[in-house]
């Protein structure tokens, strides 16, 4: 069934978009991430302009993270204070990100920037995750305890001023690194059209040492608010949010996520991290290959103004 998207200005097959939403939703439910880093490239692949894809995926992630956050809230797995402090940074980061996005778009380097950030971010994070997962797996093979490693002392982070006690997470921590992390996630989220959950979760675990019980729920709150904010800003400044596209994605996404979450519970933690690392890494590598090989067409056209 063809449906004409009012903002993207192209007709798409509804079932294809639904299926894409469901597939990405499955993965995101399984790993407890937003899945924007998969959704945005897929949309670009079916012919939706990168700018529209990035802006519309923001609202899709908002939907899936809200449904996730609600269930974590019921299980009291969210640290409200930690979420609030993260949000302070996240909001500023998102605003900066949308502003950068608009700037890059006018310079004609948006596509390159999106591709480059995907390559750098995904290969690095994916590689690290994969490596971590592999090591954890090998340790369990050898019969060692498969505990989550918390490397280093990170003395300098704990030596920073403005310390606050985060009760539900049971940590005593300076708010400065928390705000900085929020800012980074908000920024890359707005520029790249990703929720950033897959970066935020490791950062919170390894840098802030947030216990695993509250980490996913809290990160979802941050994702939720930054993505709602990003949706609003993209709608106001760039007029690029396609609500029809977003709705189809959401419906597919939230459904897929439920099945993904169930599948995720059946897989062991180390395996899950290994798989996620592999997935993130392969998306990153795919973008890298695209940048390096000679493109099929050296020329591209972009409308810059005049008739709408």
Partner 1 sequence: MTARAPLTLAAVLLGAALTASPAQAERLIVSVSNHRVTVTPNYSGEELVLFGSVEKDASTPASRNNYDLVVTVAGPRADMVTRRKERKFGIWINTDSRQFLKVPTYLALFSNRPFDAIASPEVQRRQQLGLNNVLLTQRVGPDYADVVPNDAFRSAFVRLRSEHGLYREATSAVTFLTPTLFRTGIPLPAEVPIGTYDVEIKLFADGALVTKTDSAFEIVKVGFEQFVATTARQNGLVYGLVTAFMALMTGWMASIVFRKD
**Residues at the contact surface with partner 1, assessed by CB under 8 A:** 1-4, 6-7, 9-11, 59-60, 62-71, 108-109, 111-112, 116, 227-228, 231-237, 239, 241, 243-244, 246-247, 250-251, 254-255, 257-258, 291-295, 297-308
Rounded to a whole number of angstroms, the minimum distance from the CB of residue 141 to partner 1 is 33
Task: Report the C-alpha gap between 53 and 240 in whole angstroms.
Answer: 8
Quick one: 95 or 232, whose CB is closer to partner 1?
232
Rounded to a whole number of angstroms, the minimum distance from the CB of residue 67 to partner 1 is 4
Taking only Cα atoms into account, the Rg of the chain, rounded to an integer number of angstroms, comes to 19
Rounded to a whole number of angstroms, the minimum distance from the CB of residue 207 to partner 1 is 28
Task: Report the C-alpha gap between 90 and 14 in whole angstroms.
Answer: 33
Quick one: 67 or 169, whose CB is closer to partner 1?
67
Quick one: 143 or 306, whose CB is closer to partner 1?
306
Rounded to a whole number of angstroms, the minimum distance from the CB of residue 7 to partner 1 is 6
Rounded to a whole number of angstroms, the minimum distance from the CB of residue 273 to partner 1 is 24
DSSP state of 151: -
With beta carbons less than 8 A apart as the criterion, state whether 5 and 19 touch: no
Give the number of residues written for the chain: 308
3-class SS at 262? helix
Task: Report the C-alpha gap between 293 and 179 in whole angstroms.
Answer: 39
CA atoms within 13 Å, Cβ hemisphere of 17: 28
Rounded to a whole number of angstroms, the minimum distance from the CB of residue 119 to partner 1 is 9
Rounded to a whole number of angstroms, the minimum distance from the CB of residue 11 to partner 1 is 5
> CB atoms < 10 A from the CB of 33, how many?
31
Quick one: 66 or 198, whose CB is closer to partner 1?
66
Quick one: 145 or 292, whose CB is closer to partner 1?
292
> CA angle, corner 167, sides to 161 and 172, nearest 5?
25
Spell out a b/e string for 130-154, using b for 16 or more CB atoms within 10 Å of the CB, else e.
bebbeebbeeeeeeeeeeeeeeeee
Quick one: 88 or 243, whose CB is closer to partner 1?
243
Q: Alpha carbon of 65 to those of 24, 49, 102, 123, 250: distances in Å? A: 13, 24, 25, 24, 10
Quick one: 147 or 265, whose CB is closer to partner 1?
265
Quick one: 140 or 237, whose CB is closer to partner 1?
237
Rounded to a whole number of angstroms, the minimum distance from the CB of residue 74 to partner 1 is 9
Residue 45, phi then psi, degrees to nearest 5: -65, -35
């Amino acid at each position: 069934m063809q449906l004409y998207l009012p903002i993207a200005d192209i007709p798409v097959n509804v079932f294809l978009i639904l299926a894409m939403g469901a597939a990405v939703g499955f993965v995101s439910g399984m790993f407890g991430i937003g899945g924007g880093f998969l959704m945005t490239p897929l949309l670009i692949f079916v012919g939706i302009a990168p700018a529209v894809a990035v802006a519309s995926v923001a609202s899709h992630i908002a939907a899936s993270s809200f449904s996730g956050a609600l269930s974590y809230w019921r299980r009291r797995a969210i640290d409200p204070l930690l979420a609030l402090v993260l949000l302070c940074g996240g909001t500023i980061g998102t605003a900066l990100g949308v502003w950068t996005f608009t700037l890059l778009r006018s310079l004609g380097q948006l596509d390159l920037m999106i591709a480059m950030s995907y390559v750098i971010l995904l290969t690095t994070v994916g590689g690290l995750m994969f490596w971590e997962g592999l090591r954890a797996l090998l340790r369990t093979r050898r019969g060692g305890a498969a505990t989550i490693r918390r490397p280093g002392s990170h003395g300098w982070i704990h030596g920073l001023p403005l310390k606050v006690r985060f009760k539900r997470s049971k940590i005593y921590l300076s708010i400065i690194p928390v705000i900085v992390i929020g800012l980074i996630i908000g920024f890359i989220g707005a520029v790249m059209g990703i929720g950033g959950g897959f970066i935020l979760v490791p950062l919170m675990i390894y840098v802030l040492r947030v216990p695993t019980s509250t980490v996913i729920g809290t990160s979802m709150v941050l994702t939720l608010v930054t993505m709602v904010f990003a949706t609003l800003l993209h709608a106001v400044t760039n007029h690029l949010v396609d609500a029809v596209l977003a709705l189809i994605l959401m419906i597919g996404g939230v459904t897929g996520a439920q099945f993904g979450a169930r599948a995720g519970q059946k897989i062991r933690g180390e395996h899950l991290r290994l798989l996620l690392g592999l997935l993130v890494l392969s998306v990153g590598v795919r973008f890298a290959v695209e940048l390096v090989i000679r493109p099929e067409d050296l020329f591209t056209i972009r409308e810059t103004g005049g008739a709408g």
